Each structure stands twice: as structure tokens, then as C-alpha cells.
């Protein structure tokens, strides 16, 4: 069993982006984070985003955007000895290994573990 966790969901209104259309809100989120939007895979219910700090090739972070909740979820991938900071060339393999496309297609499968704690997404298998 593999668990992807999310510590703090981020809402559009946290950044003053709630009045923008979704595409502009996603771009605005990257700008507010002072990050470069490197990958953006769009689906009906959500999107998978990969943001990086400009000039830092090992700063990549995965986010899921949930259209229904107007929220971004920074993903923490359970990789030993790694605490974020992924390279762009790892995007495809990590997306596949953690089934992140499934999560982006249906962000509602994210569930709070307990009130005020981590959210998680459990995937059975390797």
C-alpha cells in the first residue's frame, strides 16, 4: 500500500484568485508561489501540476487542483530519503508510480485522515 499525503490544502481565496477563471487562477497560483509551472495536465474534475523554483532543477513539487473545492493540494510522495525536490525528468515515472493521473481525474478520492491533520490518498500495489 502506498500513501500520498497532503498537509495543508490551499484554496483559491487564500491567494485572492477566486474571481479568476480556472486557467488564470492556476497560472496566478504559480506566480504567487514564485514558481515556474513546468507541467499541467488538465482533466474535467481536476489537474495535475508540477511547479519548480526558477533556477533550481531539484525543486519540483506536485500539486492536484480540485475544481469542485477550488483547492490546490501539495502532494508529499512517500519516497525514502526524499522530502520533495523532484527533477522534471522524474515527472513521468513518479506520476505513473503513484498513479497521480487517477488522483487528478478524481480529486474527491482525497480524504482527510482526521480533522486538522493530513489528507491522504491510498493506492494498493507497488
42-89 pLDDT, tens per residue? Answer: 999 999 999 999 999 999 999 999 999 899 999 988 887 776 689 999
Res 115 pLDDT > 70: no
Q: What per-residue confidence (pLDDT) applies to 78?
A: 82
Domain that holds residue 89: 2-123
Q: What per-residue confidence (pLDDT) applies to 110?
A: 76
Calculated CA dihedral for residues 13, 77, 61, 65, nearest 10 degrees? -40
Q: Judge contact between 66 and 46, C-beta under 8 A.
A: yes
Q: What per-residue confidence (pLDDT) applies to 79?
A: 83
Q: How many domains does the chain have?
A: 1
Q: What's this model's pTM, rounded to 2 decimal places?
A: 0.86
Amino acid at each position: 500500500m502506498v500513501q500520498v499525503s497532503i498537509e495543508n490544502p490551499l484554496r483559491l481565496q487564500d491567494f485572492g484568485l477566486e474571481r479568476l477563471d480556472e486557467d488564470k487562477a492556476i497560472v496566478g497560483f504559480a506566480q504567487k508561489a514564485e514558481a515556474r509551472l513546468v507541467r499541467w495536465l488538465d482533466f474535467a474534475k481536476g489537474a495535475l501540476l508540477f511547479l519548480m523554483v526558477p533556477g533550481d532543477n531539484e525543486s519540483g513539487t506536485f500539486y492536484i487542483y480540485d475544481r469542485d473545492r477550488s483547492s490546490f493540494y501539495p502532494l508529499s510522495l512517500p519516497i525514502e530519503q526524499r522530502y520533495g525536490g523532484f527533477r522534471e525528468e522524474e515527472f513521468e515515472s513518479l506520476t505513473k508510480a503513484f498513479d497521480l493521473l487517477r488522483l487528478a481525474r478524481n480529486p474527491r478520492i482525497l480524504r482527510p485522515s482526521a480533522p486538522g491533520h493530513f489528507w491522504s490518498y491510498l493506492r494498493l500495489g507497488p
